[in-house]
Structure 1
Amino acid sequence: MAQRKGCLIGCGVALVLGVGLLVLLVFGMGKVLDMADKTLVDPKVYEAVKTGDVESEVRAKLPSGDTFVKGALKEGGPAEPEGGVCSWYLSSGDTKNGNETVFRFCFKDGKLAEKAEYPMR
C-alpha cells in the first residue's frame, strides 16, 4: 500500500511539472510572436522611406517597436545623431551572412533625419 501511494505521489508531481513546462512553453511562444509582431519591418518599407519624409507618415508604416529586445538591437550600430530620436527594428527579409539585419530610423524636427542598416551582433 505504501509503495502504491508513493507511486501516485510521484506521478502527480510529474504531471504538475509537465503542465508547468507546457504553460511556460506557450507563454514563451507568445512572447516571441509578440516580439516579431512589434519589431519586424519588410525591407521594401525600409527602401521606400527617404530622409526628409514626414515622421508621422514613416511611423505609420512601422510597427511599435516596443519590445524587450530593443536594447540588443541598439548594440553594434552606428552612433545616434545628435538631438534625434531613434527606433530600431529587425528586417523580415533573409539573413545576410548568417546575421539578422537591423533597421534604424532616426527622427528630428518631425522628419526622418537618418536611416541605417547594419548586422545584429
Structure 2
Amino acid sequence: MRKVLLIIAGVVVLVCGVGGWFGYQALNAGREISRSSITQQEFDAQQVGTAETTVRDALPTPLDDDEENIYGDDPTRQGKPAGATCAYYPLKPLTESKNRPLFRFCFAGGKLTEKKQIRIDGA
C-alpha cells in the first residue's frame, strides 16, 4: 500500500511540475505580447521615410517572432516589401479575436519604407 501511495505522489508531483512549466511559458508569452503592443495613435505617429533608429526608439521592443509563425503558408507575406526587414507589434488593447491585427513596420536602407496593419489568422 505504501508503494502505491509513493507512486501516486510521484505522478502528482510530475503532473504539477509539467503543468506549472506550461503555465509559466504561457504567462511569459502573454507578457511579451502585452509589452510589445502599441496603440493606433503610436502607429499613426510614425511617418514613412523616418530613420529606422528614430522609429524603433519611439516604440517598445517588437514581437520576437519568426515570420513563419506570423504568415503561415502565405507566400506573398501580405505584400511584405522585398529586401526589407520588418518589426511586428500587436494592437493595444489586446483582443481575443481569431483574426488578430498586427502593425508591421518595414525598414530598408535605414529608413521606414512601409507601415501597414495586417491580419493574422489564428487557430
Label 1:66 to 1:118 Cα distance change in 2 as closer, same or farther (>3 A).
Answer: closer
Question: Is the counterpart of residue 115 in structure 1 residue 115 in structure 2?
Answer: yes
**Percentage of matched positions with identical amino acids:** 23
Match of 2:41 in 1: 44
Match of 2:26 in 1: 29
Label 1:62 to 1:34 Cα distance change in 2 as closer, same or farther (>3 A).
Answer: same
Distance 1:52 1:96 in 2: 33
Label 1:7 to 1:98 Cα distance change in 2 as closer, same or farther (>3 A).
Answer: closer
List runs of 5+ in structure 1 lacking aligned partners: none
Taking only aligned residues, the RMSD between alpha carbons, in angstroms, comes to 2.7
Tell me the secondary structure at the aligned position of residue 33 of structure 1: helix
Distance 2:106 2:66 in 1: 18
Measure how far apart 1:102 and its partner are: 1.3
Label 1:83 to 1:17 Cα distance change in 2 as closer, same or farther (>3 A).
Answer: closer
Greater Cα radius of gyration, structure 1 or 2 = 1
Label 1:22 to 1:72 Cα distance change in 2 as closer, same or farther (>3 A).
Answer: closer
The normalised TM-score by structure 1 is 0.74
List runs of 5+ in structure 2 lacking aligned partners: none
Deviates more, 1:51-60 or 1:87-96: 87-96
Measure how far apart 1:106 and its partner are: 0.9
How many residue pairs were aligned? 118
